Homo-oligomer: A and B are copies of this chain.
Amino acid sequence: MTSIAQLVAEGTITDPDSAKGKLLQCAARLFSDKGFDRTTVRDIAREVGILSGSIFHHFPNKEAILCGVMREAVLVSTAKMRAALAQAETPQQQLLALITCELEAIHGLSAEGFALLVSEWRRLSPENQADVLALRDIYEQLWLDVLAAVREAGLIDMDCFLVRRFLVGALSNTYNWFHLDGDMTLQQLAQQALRLLIHRV
């Protein structure tokens, strides 16, 4: 919470209470629910409570909305992960923290729209991909640092890049089968994902 307020204050992300902020939130939800292509700008406008033409005061086109959603999702997630890492002590705890953060992001608990980074990535133009990728690189570096530490500690022995890539797929795909209101909690899910990487947990 505090971290988001700080990002808003810095101007890094859009104030979620502003018109543009609400627009991004609604768009994120709709894009996640129905997919980018199946979501019309009229859908978004209706959700926000404005008319479709008004959207283009805030964004030059529909793709820019998706790009904005992704940017903020990465920025917020990065901030959340930094905060979580600060409170973890061992590499293993740090890894669990990251997994938990990413799962929270994927399932819409923090920045809505994080799952779009995988599912709708190809909808972005090369320019916008590069734009988001720059932010995502920072995010991914946090992962790689922690994975390196975990590897240093002898808890995993595979290539860190490879582990991360497998993990991205495994976690993002939970969006398709895991439900927050099901039998398993998100924390339990995170624990299991950790066990996938570190067998003697």
Complex copy number for this chain: 4
Tell yes or no: A121 within 8 A of B by CB. Answer: yes
The verdict on A196 contacting B163 (CB below 8 Å), with A168-B173, A169-B170, A173-B169 known, is: yes
A interface, over-half SS:
helix
The verdict on A122 contacting B35 (CB below 8 Å), with A162-B192, A163-B196 known, is: yes
Selected contact of A35 from candidates B37, B167, B168, B192, CB within 8 Å: B37
Contact between A169 and B158, CB atoms less than 8 A apart: no
Residues of B within 8 A of A167 (CB): 170
Question: Which chain B residue shows the least CB distance to A198?
Answer: B199
Nearest 10 pairs of A and B residues by beta carbon:
A169-B173, A37-B37, A166-B170, A169-B169, A169-B170, A170-B170, A199-B199, A166-B196, A162-B192, A165-B177
